[in-house]
Structure formats: C-alpha cells, structure tokens
C-alpha cells in the first residue's frame, strides 16, 4: 500500500490542506458541511482502491485549511466549486472521478455545471436540489444545526451523531467545532438567495456516469425524492440504499461502499473486474 502525502496548496480562496495517495486515474473526495478530509480515511487506505490517485482535502474553513480569505465569495456552493476547480488545476489534475458526501456531492454537481473535469461522480447523502430546496430533505437539515453559526459542544456532538452514526469518533466532533463560524450560516443564506445551479436539471441532463449511494436509515435527506430524480446517466440504473447505514455509509459500512466504489471506478476506467 502506498503511503499518503500531505501538502498545502495556495489558492485565491486560502491555503488548502491536501492529502494524496497512489498514482493513476485521479479520484477526488469532497467532504460535507463542517467535516474534514479524515472522514474518508476508510476509503483512502482501502486496498480496493489501490492503483488510483486518491486526493482528499479540507474545504476552506475546515480541518487544517485556512478560513476563507473572502467568506462571502467562498462560502456558497458555487464558491466552493470554484475552489475545487482551482485546487485541481494547481495539482495539475484535468480530469477525475469525484466522490462527494452530503455537501461534497452538491459541490460535485456544481462542478459538473462549470467544468469538464468530472468523468464520473459517486454521490452519497446528496439530493440533487431543484427549485424547491426543502423537497430534498426531511424537515430542516439537522434541526437547524446545519445552518447555525455558533454551536455548543453538545450540539456539535449531536451533529456528529446524526451525520456519522452512533459510532462517530471524537475527531468528527472536533471538526464540527473547528469549522469557521461564518461557514454554515453563509452557506445556507447563499442557497436561500438562489446561489448555484438547478442541480436537479444538471444531473438529469448530464451524460457523466453518476452513482447514487445512500444509507437506508438516513434521517436527513428524503430518499424518495432522491430516487425520483430522472438521472441522465444513472450507474446500474438504480439508486442504492445501503442497509444498517444512515447519512454517511462510507463511514458506517465502508466494506460495502468501498466495493461499490471500486466497481464504479473499474467500469469508469475500463479496468477488468477481478
């Protein structure tokens, strides 16, 4: 197994902490609201993903990355998509498969509308939002915690439990507490003002292969809404609902998700299956 490499990349949005492993076809992992790149450790270290160039990073205002230099510019779905496109350019990556979790999936769809980088997208916990933002969710995301600036330690713990399941680890709560206090409120404020593309329209028109993988017990997103989207190129012609998993199946049942991701990447790149 190849060792991981840690580096810092300067962008117009701020310094971004990046971790990479391996070589080959690039696979980019984008974490969710108030998380960090470490949530993908069970993918980055998986032997099933050997032979690919795996890239994970902390979004601005998260983890080891700097807070955004201009929060109003950066802390929106379009702003974060611009950051990722710029970051990949700095890393000399012109194409990739993009693995997005929750907000990371929304960023992936925004990238799809703005760039030809994405050759395939593997989305988890991400309803492709249309004109009615609320349709994709069950009530207010995290009972309003997802959009609140200041969180108490107990609220951060509840945030981590709902997003990552009962077996969340302390670093996840610390990541939520670390997140730039401006991030959550600005992200949702921008969305309410209409920032970003009609994601449902984008994903229904794209020819880019799209895998949809969710936990069957997800208490945040409306799975029936997700299943009802007319995807332009839905991998294996189905949306996967993974048993015994909630909003983050990649963390809760990585043996299942890693196998699906490995199969998706093999088909995407034309590799022979074992």
Q: Does any domain span residue 15?
A: yes
Give residue 141's pLDDT.
82
Scanning 151-193, the segments in alpha helix (DSSP H) are 153-164, 170-178, 183-192
Write out pLDDT tens, residues 85-111. Answer: 999 999 999 999 999 999 999 999 999
Task: Please compute the mean of the pLDDT values over residues 244-248 and round it to a whole number.
Answer: 97
Residue 274 is assigned to a structural domain of this protein:
no
Q: What percent of the chain has pLDDT over 70?
A: 99
Closest-CA residue to 195 (of 99, 78, 103): 78
Structure tokens at 41: 């450790």
Flag whether 100 is in a domain. Answer: yes
- Position 140 confidence tier, pLDDT thresholds 50, 70, 90: confident
Query: Alpha-carbon distance 176 to 163, whole Å?
Result: 11
Q: Is the confidence at residue 274, as pLDDT, over 50?
A: no
Q: How far apart are CA 11 and CA 30, in angstroms?
A: 17
Instruction: Kindly report, residue by residue over 2-52, the tens digit of the pLDDT.
Output: 789 999 999 999 999 999 999 999 999 999 999 999 999 999 999 999 999
Angle at 90 between CA 120 and CA 209, to 5 degrees: 5
For residue 179, being part of any structural domain is answered with yes
Q: How many domains does the chain have?
A: 1
Nearest to 248 by CA among 215, 211, 200: 215
What integer pLDDT is reported at residue 1 of this predicted model? Answer: 52
Quote the pLDDT of residue 258: 98
pLDDT of residue 81: 98
Which residues neighbour 104 within 8 Å (Cβ) at sequence distance 6 or greater?
Answer: 29, 30, 31, 32, 126
- Checking 22-25 for CB contacts under 8 A at 24+ apart, the result is 22/49, 22/50, 22/51, 22/52, 22/53, 22/54, 23/53, 24/51, 24/52, 24/53, 25/52, 25/53, 25/96, 25/97, 25/265, 25/268, 25/269
**262-272 mean pLDDT:** 92
Is residue 117 situated within a structural domain? yes
**Backbone φ, ψ for residue 69 (5° rounding):** -65, -35
The CATH number linked to 135 is 3.40.50.1820
Tokens of 94: 């012109």
Q: What is the pLDDT of residues 195-230, one digit of tens each?
A: 999 999 999 999 999 999 999 999 999 999 999 999
Q: Decide if 217 contacts 246 (C-beta within 8 A).
A: yes
Q: Which domain holds residue 230?
A: 4-269
């Amino acid at each position: 197994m190849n060792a991981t490499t840690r580096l810092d990349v300067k962008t117009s949005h701020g310094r971004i902490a990046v971790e990479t492993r391996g070589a080959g076809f690039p696979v980019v992992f984008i974490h969710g609201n108030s998380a960090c790149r470490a949530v993908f450790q069970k993918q980055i270290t998986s032997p099933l993903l050997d032979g690919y160039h795996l890239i994970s990073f902390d979004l601005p205002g998260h983890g080891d990355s700097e807070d955004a230099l201009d929060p109003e510019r950066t802390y929106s779905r379009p702003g974060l998509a611009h950051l990722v496109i710029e970051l990949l350019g700095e890393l000399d990556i012109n194409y990739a498969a993009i693995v997005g979790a929750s907000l990371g999936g929304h960023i992936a769809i925004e990238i799809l509308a703005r760039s030809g980088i994405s050759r395939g997208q593997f989305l988890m916990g991400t309803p492709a939002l249309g004109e009615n933002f609320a349709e994709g969710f069950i009530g207010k995301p995290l009972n309003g915690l997802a959009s609140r600036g200041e969180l108490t330690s107990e609220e951060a713990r509840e945030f981590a439990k709902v997003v990552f399941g009962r077996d969340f680890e302390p670093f996840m709560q610390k990541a939520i507490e670390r997140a730039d206090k401006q991030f959550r409120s600005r992200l949702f404020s921008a969305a309410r003002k209409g920032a970003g593309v009609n994601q449902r329209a984008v994903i229904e028109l794209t020819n880019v292969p799209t895998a949809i993988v969710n936990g069957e017990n997800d208490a945040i997103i409306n799975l029936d809404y997700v299943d009802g989207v007319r995807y332009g190129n839905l991998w294996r012609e189905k949306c996967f609902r993974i048993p015994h998993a909630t909003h983050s199946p990649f963390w809760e049942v990585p043996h299942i998700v890693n196998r699906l991701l490995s199969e998706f990447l093999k088909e995407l790149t034309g590799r022979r299956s074992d």
